[in-house]
Amino acid sequence: MDCWLVSKILKNTKGFTLVEVLVVLILLTLSFMVFLRALNTGKNVRANSEIRTVQAVLLNSIENEIRARKFDENSSSPWSSVIGKDSGESLVSQFDDIDDFHDYNVSSITEYPGFSYSVEVKYVSLEDGEFNLNPDPVVQTDFKCVTVTVSHAARPSITDMMIISSGL
């Protein structure tokens, strides 16, 4: 009798029930959704990282271009009282000193669509061993503050500030 009961039980349990199949499908679907979400998060992190890298490269390139210029039109103090482009300087290749970059803006970079940058230059003073970024009144000093901001349409801007001395 025991053999008959065992064979009857085995005969009826040779497959999966519909409920068991549905439970497995639901579990597989949920785990697949978690996997896809992780892939999407990784993609977003990579894209943001690429944008930040391009911003940093552009920032470094612009700063190096500015550092390659003379401190001022004049070779010694008194320095220029007007900050900005001099007459006849409309192209970056014509800029011969740091302050020519003041209010220089590039709204579209051909090699890097969606990126732009701006530059601001101003005199700063050294007071009690610290730089005063907003001296009042503004006077020509041996220090210029150069602020470069690189922007992207989809990400926050990245800004760097350099204080450059006349070297005298």
Mean pLDDT score, 138-151 = 92
Q: Give per-residue burial for 38-51: e unless 16+ CB within 10 Å, then b.
A: eeeeeeeeeeeeeb
Q: In whole angstroms, give the CA distance from residue 65 to residue 85.
A: 15
Token pair, residue 23, equals 């439970």
At 55-69, the pLDDT tens digits run 999 999 999 999 999
At 2-41, the pLDDT tens digits run 666 656 665 655 667 888 888 888 988 888 888 878 777 7
User: pLDDT grade, residue 77 (50/70/90)?
Assistant: confident
Q: Where are the domains of the chain?
A: 21-165
Q: What is the mean pLDDT of the chain?
A: 86
pLDDT, position 71: 93
Mean pLDDT score, 94-104 = 93
Mean pLDDT score, 102-111 = 92
DSSP secondary structure string for all residues of 24-62: HHHHHHHHHHHHHHHHHHHHHHHHHHHHHHHHHHHHHHH
